[in-house]
Structure 1
Amino acid sequence: MVTNLAAPRHHEHDFPQHVGRAAEREADHLVETAKLEPLTDGGLRTAELLSRALSKDPHHHEAQILLERLYQMFVPRWHFPMLADEGRNHAYAAAIRAKVRPGDVVLDIGCGAGLTAMLAARAGAKHVYTCEQQPLIAQAAVRVIEANGLADRITVIPKMSHNLIVGPDLPEQADVVISEIVDTLLLGEGALATLEHAMRHLAKPHARAIPERGTLMAQLVESDKLLSLWRPRSAEGFDLSEFHHFATVARITPSDFATCGLTPLGPASELFRFDFMRPDTNPQCTTEDLACSVGGTIHAVFVSFQMDLAPGIRLTNNLRSGGHWGRTAFLLENPMPSTPGDLLRITARHDASQFSLSARKGPAGPDATYSDGKDRTVIWMERA
């Protein structure tokens, strides 16, 4: 039984009558059936029942609430600002025009609304096979593609790419692999493992890929507003500092990014490079001394990516960029005053899906600690 979708009940007299009694009772029955439906099919059957209920009674309160909850559960909200990001869309369109050739077989990983698959078809691909593991999204993508007259050249496969097999799913290996399965630190959606499998098993030996590579960068930043947002010192006269240890990694929304005004204190340094055409899923570790070129207060280590889609076509979520991307900043336990020439030694690690970072005032040895003997280690990032 599904109980997590249940909405509060209301009395009949709470709302005006909009439909006949028979249609109202039929809608009620469909809603009750939907509430008992397991969600093991990704919500397909539940969505169908709730949609049928709303076709009987368009004002059915509980059907509206449950359908919205279902969509919130299975269709991540970031899809919509991503699709509205014109810079991102233009960059992918240009990269696909540059790399897809007439007659190519294209594998598009992570179909979403079908945009990159349709761009590949428009660029001249013989056929595009696009996979989407979420059934509701895959079903909607089929309708989007049909509405744009491309159903004969694009096949939506409701599977994870790891489960695709050449023969039953793809008639042949792909000439081009397209994906946009990265998070704010490139790793969180499992891009490296997914692309390693795709390039090895689903693509031709010299297949092209979009994106081609990615780089993670780190730099020191100052922002009183960021610190006030994530570590407010007090509220209504009460000291809140004992709550601050929960806030070590700031996941910054685009609106917060615009408000907080992060100021760079020094140049960005490269941490890791990722080759998406020949992915390496081995864990890596690097230690870098981040330099201050201006005076100020070090509040955080800001980590951003650069993603090269094709030669000369790059996406980034650095301090100067816009778009829908979130940002990530690792907050120092105690802000540090800085002068030009100061260094902060950081150690960054990843295991191909997660990223961690620790910081020490440096330069110092690899096992150095602060004067109080404590190592300032930032927690592991959660898998997206």
Structure 2
Amino acid sequence: MTERHSAEPAQNFHGDGAQDADTLVQRAKSQTLDDGGLRTSQLLGDALALDPQHHEAQVLQERLHQMFVPRWHFPMLADTARNRAYAQAIAAKVQPGDVVLDIGCGAGLTAMLAARAGAKHVYTCEQQPLIAQAATRLIAENGLSDRITVIPKWSHEITVGTDIPERADVVISEIVDTVLLGEGALATLTHAMSALAKPDARAVPEWGTLKAQLVESSGLLDQWRPHQAEGFDLSAFHRFARVAQLTPGEFAACGLRSLGPAAELFQFDFTRPDLTPERTATDLTCAAAGTIHAVLVSFELQLAPGIQVANGMDAGGHWGRTAFLLDRAEAAAPGDRLPVTAQHDTSHLSVSANGPLIPAGEAAAATVWLNPAWRLRRPVRDGGDRTAPPPAAWSPADTGGAGLPGQPCH
């Protein structure tokens, strides 16, 4: 006969507070989340205070936090190079007696840096209630509640005279994504600099530049466009993977190799933002032989003169990367160029390759052809199979003085 060991009665399995904890969890599950999760978080926290091992409360609390507190907050706060750069820039920009507006409070670090730099008062806004609540507590624990006010609002909802007593002398933000645009930075800063800041207000960051370069990475394609699995062709699924968003770990694992220098696509002035969509066409050059798999887009942010953060090929830190995958890999030689078009609508970026790779030297010949003052001469044959040494590749044409070099040709 098998011996059975009876467990404790079910009602006592979680400890003395189990019944009350269960009730709180059920109430938490019935709450709406239109308050940003505040009430649900409080109920789950109370349940765990009664029963720290309550399984369902632990699971629901973690799910709530992942829903409302983006995971990138934590590697960002651990990025010592980024933190040091912001600390130096804020110390350089904030003067004693300044009123500072900090957009996107997060944990409150940049607001506390501004207070430490001598600001008279810092007003920091955070639209996510759970994060705003946590920042308020963190700021209090660091003894700065009298100099920092957390406003649980989106910056577009702030009004001078109600939420802040006067316009700001300095506007601080870090509301950019891996291509500077995805968090609505331009629209947010356009409003802030015009409606919430003084006419001569300073800003951190000052400007940002987007750049693009050609890269080779078989690991990138293995990760985002695997060709087969268990003998089955997966190519028809590749059209869903045109833009690769890479975490720092994925970026390192893919082993991207630069094939050429980064070329500037767009520059954004964060002190006087412009909400005009832009489009640019340029050629990205190969400096080394290889296979072009993608166009990597990166940024440089100038926080203050001489102080920058970046997420280029050689940059470390918490920043991710964005790579635009070519529809077809291109074998390239040094000097070859790939025409690309980049566009943004102030919120989103697109990059596409235009046509085939331009071989090295072809563009120079086309430039000569466009100017009637010079003409190409074909190699001259001397009557045999040998090709006689050609004259110079170009020579002045007999134009009678028309079409001088430097004049436009239509």
- Asked if these proteins are the same fold (TM beyond 0.5), I'd say yes
CA separation of 1:140/1:355 partners in 2, compared to 1, >3 Å: closer, same or farther?
Answer: same
Question: How far, CA to CA, are the matches of 2:40 and 2:179 in structure 1?
Answer: 34
Matching residue of 1:311: 305
Matching residue of 1:285: 279
Q: Partner amino acid for 2:78?
A: A
Matching residue of 1:137: 131
Equivalent residues in 2 for 1:93-172, closer than 5 Å: 93-172=87-166
Equivalent residues of 1:289, 1:362 under 8 A apart: no
Q: Which has the larger radius of gyration?
A: 2
Q: Partner amino acid for 2:61?
A: L
Matching residue of 1:81: 75
Question: How far, CA to CA, are the matches of 2:294 and 2:317 in structure 1?
Answer: 22
Deviations 1:82-124 (A, max 9, x none): 0000010000000001000000000000000000000000000
Q: Partner amino acid for 2:236?
A: E
Question: How far, CA to CA, are the matches of 2:292 and 2:338 in structure 1?
Answer: 9
Deviation at 1:12, TM superposition (A): 8.7
Question: How far, CA to CA, are the matches of 1:348 and 1:58 in structure 2?
Answer: 52
Matching residue of 2:376: none
Equivalent residues in 2 for 1:272-351, closer than 5 Å: 272-351=266-345
Q: Partner amino acid for 1:253?
A: T
Matching residue of 2:189: 195
Deviation at 1:159, TM superposition (A): 0.1
Question: How far, CA to CA, are the matches of 2:107 and 2:213 in structure 1?
Answer: 35
CA separation of 1:16/1:267 partners in 2, compared to 1, >3 Å: closer, same or farther?
Answer: farther
Matching residue of 1:4: none
Question: How far, CA to CA, are the matches of 2:229 and 2:121 in structure 1?
Answer: 59
Question: How far, CA to CA, are the matches of 1:94 and 1:293 in structure 2?
Answer: 36
CA separation of 1:103/1:271 partners in 2, compared to 1, >3 Å: closer, same or farther?
Answer: same
Question: Given the alignment, which residue of 15, 18, 21 partners 1:19?
Answer: 15
Question: How far, CA to CA, are the matches of 1:165 and 1:318 in structure 2?
Answer: 37
CA separation of 1:29/1:266 partners in 2, compared to 1, >3 Å: closer, same or farther?
Answer: same
Equivalent residues of 2:18, 2:50 under 8 A apart: yes
* Greater shift in the superposed pair: 351-360 or 234-243: 234-243
Question: How far, CA to CA, are the matches of 1:229 and 1:19 in structure 2?
Answer: 47
Question: How far, CA to CA, are the matches of 2:111 and 2:8 in structure 1?
Answer: 47
CA separation of 1:48/1:294 partners in 2, compared to 1, >3 Å: closer, same or farther?
Answer: same
Deviation at 1:279, TM superposition (A): 0.1
Q: Partner amino acid for 1:17?
A: F
Deviation at 1:223, TM superposition (A): 0.6
Question: How far, CA to CA, are the matches of 2:46 and 2:18 in structure 1?
Answer: 12
Two-structure CA RMSD over aligned residues (Å): 1.5
Question: Given the alignment, which residue of 42, 49, 58 partners 2:52?
Answer: 58
Deviation at 1:363, TM superposition (A): 5.3
Matching residue of 2:221: 227
Q: Which ranges of structure 1 fall in alignment gaps of 5 or more residues?
A: 1-10, 365-384
Q: Partner amino acid for 1:306?
A: E
CA separation of 1:154/1:332 partners in 2, compared to 1, >3 Å: closer, same or farther?
Answer: same
Q: Secondary structure at the match of 1:299?
A: strand
Equivalent residues of 2:288, 2:333 under 8 A apart: yes
Matched, 1:213 2:207: yes
Matched, 1:359 2:353: yes
Deviation at 1:56, TM superposition (A): 1.3
Q: Partner amino acid for 2:189?
A: L
Question: Given the alignment, which residue of 22, 41, 63 partners 1:28?
Answer: 22
Equivalent residues of 1:213, 1:309 under 8 A apart: yes
Deviation at 1:182, TM superposition (A): 0.2
Equivalent residues of 2:11, 2:19 under 8 A apart: no
Q: Secondary structure at the match of 2:309?
A: strand
Question: How far, CA to CA, are the matches of 1:100 and 1:38 in structure 2?
Answer: 41
Q: Percent of aligned pairs with the same residue?
A: 67
Question: How far, CA to CA, are the matches of 2:206 and 2:255 in structure 1?
Answer: 31
Equivalent residues of 2:11, 2:18 under 8 A apart: no
Question: How far, CA to CA, are the matches of 1:276 and 1:139 in structure 2?
Answer: 28
Question: How far, CA to CA, are the matches of 2:287 and 2:217 in structure 1?
Answer: 16
Equivalent residues in 2 for 1:173-184, closer than 5 Å: 173-184=167-178
Question: How far, CA to CA, are the matches of 1:307 and 1:174 in structure 2?
Answer: 22
Deviation at 1:17, TM superposition (A): 3.0
Q: Partner amino acid for 1:279?
A: P
Equivalent residues of 1:117, 1:128 under 8 A apart: yes
Question: How far, CA to CA, are the matches of 1:345 and 1:16 in structure 2?
Answer: 70
Deviation at 1:52, TM superposition (A): 0.8
Q: TM-score, normalised by structure 1?
A: 0.90
Matching residue of 1:251: 245
Deviations 1:340-359 (A, max 9, x none): 11110000000000011110
Question: How far, CA to CA, are the matches of 2:352 and 2:82 in structure 1?
Answer: 31
Question: How far, CA to CA, are the matches of 1:185 and 1:333 in structure 2?
Answer: 21
Question: How far, CA to CA, are the matches of 1:114 and 1:284 in structure 2?
Answer: 34
Question: How far, CA to CA, are the matches of 2:65 and 2:124 in structure 1?
Answer: 21
Equivalent residues of 1:214, 1:306 under 8 A apart: yes
Q: Secondary structure at the match of 2:326?
A: strand
Q: Which has the higher contact order (CA 8 A, sep 6+)?
A: 1
Deviation at 1:16, TM superposition (A): 7.8
Q: Partner amino acid for 1:203?
A: A
Q: Partner amino acid for 2:274?
A: D
Q: Partner amino acid for 1:298?
A: I
